[in-house]
Amino acid sequence: MLFTAIRHGARRQALNATRSFSSSTNKLAAAEVKKLGVIGAGQMGLGIALVAAQKAEVPVVLIDNSEAGLQKGLKFADKLLEKDIAKERITRETADLVRSRLTPSTKLSDLSDVDFVIEAVPEILDLKTSIFSQLAQIAPKHAILATNTSSIPITKIAAATTKDATDLQAPSRVVSTHFMNPVPVQKGVEIISGLQTSPQTLETALEFVKRMGKIPAVSADTPGFLANRILMPYINEAIICLETGVGHKEDIDSIMKYGTNVPMGPLTLADFIGLDTCLAIMNVLHTETGDSKYRPSVLLKKMVDAGWLGKKSGKGFYDY
């Protein structure tokens, strides 16, 4: 009886604390975002930049480490805009206006006057921490520093902003805005706070992705967050089924597509995500949790070693 009362009392206290925190968070005014910076002109980064320019109607500085990468990304933007014109979703005038809001650059220093930055580079910890260490020196002291990471702890990325310790408040402005691929199509965005993230940073991130026409979901800073904690083991198990001869690839995809009403089967989805990305996320889940259920499939490792990365390389479980 006593134990039950104590347990229920503690539970009530926790609920009250949560309600109090949620209430205070909701009262915070989100900071205004007038200009956005996006780092990485690949499929994810370009998609984020294009949607922000079109839906949120903000100027976007698109950063990449190579001029060739920038030009490839901008050509992809033109292709998407032309597709929208052909389907009469937008007019030529609107497309030209959206395109004019995209400013390409190879210099991080061009992010010195933005209000919000979204990093969308490959899932390499050293690369991301290096970028955030530089952003803490370059971006204005009010700017939100967001990462599109799908698996790396936000707390660890935020800690990188104190490397040179010129702005001790920088970690409080770090958050994750994890967009789903392809960004122009998928509505969901995971918003993840690190240990250091301030309530206002969280609120600003939530409001900005809503301006982009997205539907945010809040996740704790745990390995894989919500989406990949659920999705990647599903894909990995499908690969194990193929590897161990439980079914052919077409049958694996067919039963999940037509049996559970998902738009594509797990092996096709893995090809679209990129098998190297799938492997990187499974390795993070396995390492961070220490749980053997997250061990990457042997076949997945072999395919990445072979350079069969899916749609982007022309070959994965299927040929493209």
| 27 marked among binding-site residues | no
- What's the pLDDT score for residue 308? 98
- Examine the residue annotation and report whether 22 is marked as an active-site residue of this protein: no
- Examine the residue annotation and report whether 248 is marked as an active-site residue of this protein: no
Whether residue 155 is found in the same domain as residue 52 = yes
Q: How far apart are CA 58 and CA 62, in angstroms?
A: 12
DSSP E strands, 28-160: 36-39, 60-63, 102-105, 116-119, 144-147
Among 220, 244, 267, identify where a domain stops.
Answer: 220
Whether residue 186 is found in the same domain as residue 48 = yes
pTM of the model: 0.84
Whether residue 188 is found in the same domain as residue 271 = no
| 40 marked among binding-site residues | yes
Do the domain assignments include residue 24?
A: no
Whether residue 262 is found in the same domain as residue 115 = no
Whether residue 233 is found in the same domain as residue 197 = no
Do the domain assignments include residue 28?
A: no
| 128 marked among binding-site residues | yes
Q: How far apart are CA 309 and CA 302, in angstroms?
A: 10
Q: Using the predicted structure, report yes or no on whether residue 248 has a pLDDT greater than 60.
A: yes
Do the domain assignments include residue 42?
A: yes
Q: How far apart are CA 176 and CA 79, in angstroms?
A: 28
- Examine the residue annotation and report whether 190 is marked as an active-site residue of this protein: yes
Q: From the candidates 148, 150, 176, 193, which is the catalytic residue?
A: 150
Do the domain assignments include residue 11?
A: no
Domain count, the chain: 2
| Contacts of 81 by beta carbon, 8 Å cutoff, 6+ apart | 50, 90, 95, 98, 99
CATH number at residue 261: 1.10.1040.10
Whether residue 232 is found in the same domain as residue 174 = no
Cα angle 157, 109, 163 (rounded to 5 degrees) comes to 35
Q: Using the predicted structure, report yes or no on whether residue 239 has a pLDDT greater than 90.
A: yes
Do the domain assignments include residue 99?
A: yes
Whether residue 40 is found in the same domain as residue 159 = yes
CATH number at residue 207: 3.40.50.720
Q: From the candidates 119, 176, 190, 203, which is the catalytic residue?
A: 190
Comparing CA positions, the residue from 137, 139, 225, 232 lying closest to residue 189 is 225
Whether residue 119 is found in the same domain as residue 268 = no
- What's the pLDDT score for residue 164? 67
| 64 marked among binding-site residues | yes
Here the tokens at position 13 are 């206290």
- Examine the residue annotation and report whether 8 is marked as an active-site residue of this protein: no
Among 187, 220, 253, identify where a domain stops.
Answer: 220
Q: Using the predicted structure, report yes or no on whether residue 294 has a pLDDT greater than 90.
A: yes
- What's the pLDDT score for residue 27? 54
Domain that includes residue 277, residue range:
226-313
Q: Using the predicted structure, report yes or no on whether residue 144 has a pLDDT greater than 70.
A: yes
What are 88-116's pLDDT values in tens digits?
999 999 999 999 999 999 999 999 999 99
The 174-179 sheet, strands edge to edge: 102-105, 60-63, 36-39, 116-119, 144-147, 174-179, 188-193, 215-219
- What's the pLDDT score for residue 25? 43
What are 251-274's pLDDT values in tens digits?
999 999 999 999 999 999 999 999
Whether residue 199 is found in the same domain as residue 259 = no
